[in-house]
Amino acid sequence: MIRIEARPQPSAVMAYATPVLAVVLTMIFGGILFAVLGKDPLQAIATIFWEPIFGEFAFFYRPQLLIKGAPLVLIAIGLALGFRAGIWNIGAEGQYIVGAICGAGAGLAFFPTESVLIFPFMVLAGALGGWAWAMIPAVLKVKFGTNEILVSLMLVYVAEQLLASMSLGLLKNPEGFGFPGSRNLQQYPSAHNAEIIAGTGMHWGVVAALIAVIFAYVLLTRHRLGFAIRVTGEAPRAAKFGGVNPGRLVLFCLGMSGLLAGLAGMFEVAGPSGQISIDFNVGYGFTAIIVAFLGRLNPLGIVAAGLLMALTYIGGDIAQSQLGLPAAAIQVFQGMLLFFLLALDVLTNYRVRVGRAEVA
Amino acid sequence: MKFTTLMASAALALGLAGGAYADGHEKTKVGFVYVGPVGDGGWTYEHDQGRLAVEEEFGDAVETVFVENVAEGPDSERVMTQMALDGADLIFTTSFGYMDPTNNVAAKFPDVKFEHATGYKRLHPNVSTYSARFYEGRAIQGHIAGKMTKTNTIGYIGSFPIPEVIRGINSAYIHAKKVNPDVEFKIIWVYTWFDPAKEADAAKTLIDQGADVVLQHTDSTAPQAAAQEAGGVVTFGQASDMGQYAPFPRVSSIIDDWAPYYIARTRAVMDGTWESKDTWDGIGAGMVGIGEISDAVPAEVREEALAMKAALADGSYHAFTGPLNKQDGSPFLADGETADDGTLAGMNFYVEGIEGDIPQ
């Protein structure tokens, strides 16, 4: 008989080593998968992890890492705050969409007026939109005790319908010959979230992500509110006795993660993406959940995890094109990463016992 | 240094900017960017069949690469750039949402040719656009549907209310009405191109409402399966032949056949005769195929359908020929007048007789 039992003292070293081990195991088993598919495993792994950073065209891919990683980090930082307190916002994708709609709408309302005030106004609108969308599950939880996992997740699908409606109606480009999709904000200078230094990939969303990381780090390590978040997650009863107001914490954590997800959507629509379209969202809100856990819910870890996920996406596409690997194999590869991380976490916190259970 | 000059100088240094053969690479490299998986059995599958036809036609003289499941927006822009950096001479981008990214990348790589499917923007001399006159196939479908229905109710699964889809609905309705004045269309919008579950639900709802013919502008075979289960309901294959449901419920199909176009354009790049243009081909040029009309259709109806196919192919008949009114009763086409391509491309109204509103 095989049982697992909790380790009395989980190893602190292992807690930090597991992400690295998970990456190594993913490379090994991913390599086997690629070999079974008839590709050179070393070449495939090198294409995914080496090519974008040090390859021939690294000057192009390195900035792309920032573009792909920034929204992941921005969203994951917000999610991590809630996850630490045991507040599960699974609907960041929806908040990302609403933030983008509000941000783009705020900019397009002034088209074609040019003013330096338009972009800050869009940032505000995007943040507010994401915040408001996250407040729906937050208020419902506080007032009626609903499950925030379900409500926030279901609101993603509502947001997707809203996005389709906006692309086909209110925000549709009047000069688009009836095709869906808004005007392209890249062609509207006042609203364009352009690269701050051309060719670096450094747009305002990247800056916002860095600010969010610092802010979250200080909050969690130096601020009373951060302490309340950590205590609530680790010992909810102790937190209650310690005077933490759980309702207020729910409002703060969901609101903050919604706000950051909304900002991510706004920076994306105004910059790299350029327009509101039916298929604007590409799953950043869900991938950010992986990023948050891969980064150990730690702001600095999340930066590393976000860049790593971005790397597997970019390298994965290169591997598809250069080596003919199917997209599904790349997705399995990314899935392995989370699988091994969770499996190793279990083994860090529990040990496997083989043999009969002792009679207590 | 500006990004474009950085790109150009990098390309020059690597000898990629000198056209197809100046750098000594002998094979013409053709890239394909796909929005779905190659195994979707519909839209992307048919584009990939076109790619394989190019390989077959030119053998060792070409090398093709593709990336599947590429999200519209910045991801597609990165994948196109990567293909161009890797030395592609010609890149086919096969989804409407790739329109702005295609033009952005084309600006950076003036010596690489770009072909964008279903769009209208050709901002640079190295961008062409192409699409198929699927509405010609819809006319034949409408004719068969009008003859086959006993309940005089035809169900239509719409994907998105965009000109492409509305054109198909109008074309099918006009020709169904012509042979069956009592015919009525019921339209359900599912807001997706490919979602078997939603498509099956829509088909069942339409069948429950009395439809005994179900037309679809979505790519899965789920409506075919739903029709088979219900029994006595006629369907048509979409994008792909869907021959596994023949001879009944699938009585015919509209097939996207990109192979002739892809071969012609690849040859033009090899010959150095490629130039920017807009192509909108139909049955005549072989871009739209009509799948075999099965024995479930009475012989005389099949004869009529094939006659219409021949007339559409040689141009003696246009699917939008007056007299026709718009839904609100205002005149659309006078007696004998045919619709011009501009009107068709931006079609955003129903013709007279169709009930309901186009969602905004």
Of A59, A195, A279, the CB nearest to B10: A59
pLDDT band for position A357 (50/70/90)? low
Q: Work out the end-to-end distance of chain A between its first and last CA atoms, rounded to an integer number of angstroms.
A: 16
**Across the interface, do A320 and B68 touch by the CB < 8 Å criterion?**
yes
What confidence score (pLDDT) does residue A25 get?
Answer: 94
Whether the CB-CB separation of A230 and A223 falls below 8 Å is answered with: no
Rounded CA separation B234/B222 (Å): 13
What confidence score (pLDDT) does residue B17 get?
Answer: 40
The nearest CA of chain A is from the CA of B176 a distance in Å of 26
The nearest CA of chain A is from the CA of B337 a distance in Å of 22
Of A57, A161, A272, the CB nearest to B73: A272
Domain B3-132, CATH homologous superfamily name and number: Response regulator (3.40.50.2300)
Mind listing the pLDDT tens digit for each residue in B113-154? Answer: 999 998 889 999 999 999 999 999 999 999 999 999 999 999
The CATH number fitting domain B134-256+288-345, selected from 3.20.20.70, 1.10.1040.10, 3.40.50.300, 3.40.50.2300: 3.40.50.2300
Location of structure tokens 């009585």: B251
pLDDT band for position A351 (50/70/90)? confident
Average pLDDT across chain A, whole number: 91
Using DSSP, state whether B217 is helix, strand or coil: coil
> Does A328 contact chain B (CB < 8 Å)?
yes
Q: Where are the domains of chain B?
A: 3-132, 134-256+288-345
Chain B hits for A166, Cβ within 8 Å: none
Neighbouring-strand partners of residue B288: B256
**Across the interface, do B69 and A322 touch by the CB < 8 Å criterion?**
no
Using DSSP, state whether B254 is helix, strand or coil: strand
Rg (CA), chain B: 22
Chain B hits for A179, Cβ within 8 Å: 96, 120, 162-163
What confidence score (pLDDT) does residue B25 get?
Answer: 60
Whether the CB-CB separation of B142 and B319 falls below 8 Å is answered with: no
Residue in A with minimal Cα distance to B79: A317
Q: Judge whether residue A180 has pLDDT over 90.
A: no
**Across the interface, do A198 and B3 touch by the CB < 8 Å criterion?**
yes
Residues of chain B with a CB closer than 8 angstroms to some CB in chain A: 1-3, 6-7, 10, 14, 31, 37-38, 65-75, 77-79, 81-83, 85-86, 96-97, 100, 104, 120, 160-163, 191, 345-348, 359-360
Whether the CB-CB separation of B202 and B157 falls below 8 Å is answered with: yes
Q: Do domains B3-132 and B134-256+288-345 have the same CATH topology?
A: yes
User: pTM for the full model?
Assistant: 0.87
Count of H-run helices and E-run strands, chain A: 14, 2
Which burial class, exposed, middle or buried, applies to A119 when counting CB atoms under 10 A from its CB (0-12, 13-18, 19+)?
A: buried
> Does A346 contact chain B (CB < 8 Å)?
no
ipTM of this predicted structure: 0.87
What is chain B's length?
A: 360
Long-range pairs of A325-334 with CB within 8 A, sequence gap ≥ 24:
A325/A34, A325/A37, A325/A39, A325/A44, A326/A37, A326/B38, A326/B68, A327/B37, A327/B67, A327/B68, A327/B69, A328/B37, A329/A33, A329/A34, A329/A37, A330/A48, A332/A30, A332/A33, A333/A26, A333/A30, A333/A33, A333/A48, A334/A309
Q: Which two tokens stand for residue B181?
A: 């004045």
What confidence score (pLDDT) does residue A252 get?
Answer: 95
Whether the CB-CB separation of A251 and A84 falls below 8 Å is answered with: no
Stretch A281-290: mean pLDDT: 93
The nearest CA of chain B is from the CA of A182 a distance in Å of 12
Using DSSP, state whether B329 is helix, strand or coil: coil
B-proximal residues of A, 62-101, CB under 8 Å: 64, 67-68
Residue in A with minimal Cα distance to B345: A177
Phi, psi (rounded to 5 degrees) for B215: -100, 150
Stretch A329-355: mean pLDDT: 87
Residue in B with minimal Cα distance to A327: B68
Instruction: Work out whether the CA dihedral B72, B242, B120, B128 comes out positive or negative.
Output: positive
Which candidate in B12, B45, B52, B69 is best for mutational testing of the A interface (most A CBs within 10 A)? Answer: B69
Whether the CB-CB separation of B234 and B222 falls below 8 Å is answered with: no
Mind listing the pLDDT tens digit for each residue in B194-243? Answer: 888 999 999 999 999 999 999 999 988 999 999 999 999 999 999 888 88
pLDDT band for position A259 (50/70/90)? very high
Whether the CB-CB separation of B156 and B169 falls below 8 Å is answered with: yes
Rounded CA separation B261/B133 (Å): 13
Q: Judge whether residue B18 has pLDDT over 50.
A: no
Contacts of residue A130, defined as CB under 8 A and 6 or more positions apart, other chains included, come to: A95, A96, A98, A99, A102, A258, A259, A260, A261, A262, A263, A264, A265, A266
Mind listing the pLDDT tens digit for each residue in B23-58? Answer: 556 799 999 999 988 987 788 999 999 999 999 999
